[in-house]
Structure 1
Amino acid sequence: MLLKFAIQDFKDDREFKNLSEQSIKNYMIQLNEFHGFCAEKEILNVEDVTANTIKSYLLYCMKSKKNNPVTVNTKIKNLKAFFNYMVESDIIMEKRNPMSKIEKAKTDTKIDVFNDNHIKQMLNYYRRLKGREHSFYAYRDYTLILTLLGSGMRLGELCNLKWKDVDLITGTIIVFGKNRTQASIPITDKLVKELAEYKVFCQQHFPEPSEHVFINRENKSMTTDAVKNVFKRLKAIMNFKDVRLSAHTFRHTFAHRFLMNGGDVFTLQKMLRHSNLKMTEKYLAIWGTALREQNDKYNPLNSLDV
């Protein structure tokens, strides 16, 4: 089967399985990139893709596209899903699956988080923006950052957030995460206040307020690419040398502060909507030294004469 037809079949299958629009988009971006790579190597049929083809493609991603190990591992995961589907569909045999012996790249255990200075610099930048022409973007992006910091939500969850899912009375937000899973998470009084004021601002700014919380100048919901562009512009202005400025760094920062302030890993798992505890425990493993210092400082046995 032609690789380009196989990719289309895979897309149809993901749509039938009701994957989110963003998930399908991410699959297609990478699979189309892979198809282009194979076409240049004159590999047109899916049956002709070998483990060496995959390795050559991944080396190309690392060397020519400068993909880091995390990005490469995402591509490996997507290719595994694609070729597993090819096996399930009897397009290729199990023993001919080129991904069967491809292992993930080793990644550094360091996870970037923002410190107080980073956060203050970003928020102060938006506070200082003057003029009515900047007021909408400044207030929206300021509130966007506070929402990410105060909830730990994912980029897709942020873009999908609607006002009907924000309960400013009980202080809860309903988010729709990976695989369309729905979860209710609590938010602090401080974030409730910020969102309430931002909601009034949007109602005054637009004759007919959008159902979505974070919107563009045309009163339409922001796309994930639009939010990434916000951080791309902010990155150029802030010029942080020691941390990556992205939506996921805010999520890591939420997890880091939660644990450093004494939160337990089980509650954090629920807050981050991780499907299993192992995903949350990676934070515990990385920041274990800092947790030990906190424990040594605040352990109740310290004040007991035993």
Structure 2
Amino acid sequence: MVKRMVRGRKAMTTDQSRNYALDEAFELFCKVKEAEGKRKRTLLDYRKHWGYFRKWLDSYHPEITFIRQVTSTIAREYYLYMASDRSKYQGVSNRYLPGVKLAPATVAIRLRSFRAMFRFWTIEGVIKENPTLNIKPPKEDEEEIVVFSEEQLISMLSAANRKTFKGFRDWVLMTLLADTGLRISEAVSLTTELIDFSNNVIRLPASLNKNRKKRVVPFSSHVSANLHELIEENRLHFETDFVFVDVYGKQLTADAVRKIFRRYAEKAGLIGKVKFSPHVFRHFFCRQYLLNGGDIATLQAIVGHADITTTRKYLQVETTHIRSQHEKFSPINRLFD
């Protein structure tokens, strides 16, 4: 029996009597998800997470070659391996950390992809029963978000040599991130047409936003002047609409920025003091926005959080701030001052 699959995409077919090979079933899943408009990053994550599962199967269950051979027992065994046995960066010689287990958040992300695949194959009749149905994601302890202090941010900014093109570009990028809370992927995708200098806002289209909704991101007059200067300098040397480019005029990638910023963090002596990535600039903006009196609903709109519970995490404040605020507003202090 052949079942037609028509869900707002080009019609495809699956033969329910056929036993798909593992990678054949996965390629079918990827083709459909690509047709449904899944982002390139999501599709790459699917391939990466499927690769982890296939390596595990080759090591522990080489006899499994067809998707229908993956039972609930096998699925549960793989989940327990991720949650209890696998070490961080296992298989990566220069980053392997023996004894350091995968974080619950990492396990949850991989499990989410794993379950999405088997849910798809069940719905489409590729398999008869979903072996991941009763596997629940691990519980995650809510961790306090650790961000730059203002002094640490200044140290990062000071590490960039603004007398060079690269140093000035990086300095502008860091100030933009700290001023707007943009994701690094959004910042490196900025083109001049997205920047409205008359209103000092960035108009991000839905295609660049993680939750697929367009949004308007304000920036300060100080950052406006920096952006103007960088764009004018780009025009002197390159023919490009991208704001952040390398010395050859090519668009900077998020991975390149991560490496560049890490070098600045090392130069500023921040490695080991802050869990460093470009995302800490976003954390800095969110925390400072709230501490300086901004409201949470506006912050959610600026940074593009789909769920306000994500934004609420930034209401956590450092112990020093709590102590200073208590000293300032203590009823006993006010009574006896």
Instruction: Report the TM-score, using the length of structure 2 for normalisation.
Output: 0.77
Could you tell me which residue of structure 2 aligns to residue 112 of structure 1? 146
Could you tell me which residue of structure 2 aligns to residue 250 of structure 1? 281
Q: CA deviation at 1:294?
A: 7.1
Correspondence 1:197 to 2:229: yes
Alpha-carbon distance change, 5 to 238 in structure 1, aligned in 2, over 3 angstroms: farther
Could you tell me which residue of structure 2 aligns to residue 59 of structure 1? 84
Q: CA deviation at 1:12?
A: 1.4
Q: CA deviation at 1:7?
A: 2.3
Q: Which runs of 5+ in 2 are unaligned?
A: 1-19, 91-99
Correspondence 1:263 to 2:294: yes
Alpha-carbon distance change, 30 to 50 in structure 1, aligned in 2, over 3 angstroms: closer
Q: Deviations over 1:32-74 (max 9, x none)?
A: 2222222222143333142112221343444563543333332
Q: CA deviation at 1:145?
A: 0.9
> What is the SS of the residue equivalent to 2:245?
coil
Aligned counterpart in structure 2 of residue 20 of structure 1, from 39, 54, 58: 39
- Report the AA paired with residue 132 of structure 2: P
Contact 1:154/1:251, CA 8 A, preserved across alignment: yes
Could you tell me which residue of structure 1 aligns to residue 53 of structure 2? 34
More off after superposition, 118-127 vs 103-112: 103-112
Q: Deviations over 1:230-267 (max 9, x none)?
A: 23333443342220221211111111101111111111
Alpha-carbon distance change, 238 to 213 in structure 1, aligned in 2, over 3 angstroms: same
Could you tell me which residue of structure 1 aligns to residue 65 of structure 2? 44
Q: CA deviation at 1:166?
A: 0.7
Contact 2:145/2:313, CA 8 A, preserved across alignment: no
Alpha-carbon distance change, 219 to 64 in structure 1, aligned in 2, over 3 angstroms: closer
Distance in 2 between residues matched to 1:271 and 1:165, nearest whole Å: 15
Distance in 2 between residues matched to 1:86 and 1:58, nearest whole Å: 24
Aligned counterpart in structure 1 of residue 122 of structure 2, from 75, 83, 87: 87
Q: Deviations over 1:80-100 (max 9, x none)?
A: 322322222223345x33253
Distance in 2 between residues matched to 1:201 and 1:61, nearest whole Å: 49
> What is the SS of the residue equivalent to 1:50?
helix
Alpha-carbon distance change, 38 to 259 in structure 1, aligned in 2, over 3 angstroms: same
- Report the AA paired with residue 231 of structure 1: F
Larger helix proportion, structure 1 or 2? 1
Alpha-carbon distance change, 289 to 97 in structure 1, aligned in 2, over 3 angstroms: farther
Could you tell me which residue of structure 2 aligns to residue 2 of structure 1? 21
Distance in 2 between residues matched to 1:291 and 1:119, nearest whole Å: 18
Aligned counterpart in structure 2 of residue 272 of structure 1, from 273, 278, 303: 303
- Report the AA paired with residue 45 of structure 1: F
Q: Deviations over 1:160-186 (max 9, x none)?
A: 221110111110102221153321121
Larger Cα Rg: Structure 1 or Structure 2? 2
Could you tell me which residue of structure 1 aligns to residue 264 of structure 2? 234
Contact 1:112/1:244, CA 8 A, preserved across alignment: yes
- Report the AA paired with residue 273 of structure 1: G
Q: Could you say which structure has the greater relative contact order, defined with CA pairs below 8 angstroms and 6 or more residues apart? A: 1
Contact 1:154/1:177, CA 8 A, preserved across alignment: no
Could you tell me which residue of structure 1 aligns to residue 210 of structure 2? 178
- Report the AA paired with residue 287 of structure 2: H
Distance in 2 between residues matched to 1:45 and 1:239, nearest whole Å: 51
Contact 1:19/1:180, CA 8 A, preserved across alignment: no
Identity of aligned residues (%): 25
Correspondence 1:138 to 2:142: no
Q: Which runs of 5+ in 1 are unaligned?
A: none
Distance in 2 between residues matched to 1:7 and 1:298, nearest whole Å: 60
> What is the SS of the residue equivalent to 2:241?
coil
Q: CA deviation at 1:148?
A: 1.0
Instruction: Report the TM-score, using the length of structure 1 for normalisation.
Output: 0.85
Alpha-carbon distance change, 290 to 182 in structure 1, aligned in 2, over 3 angstroms: farther
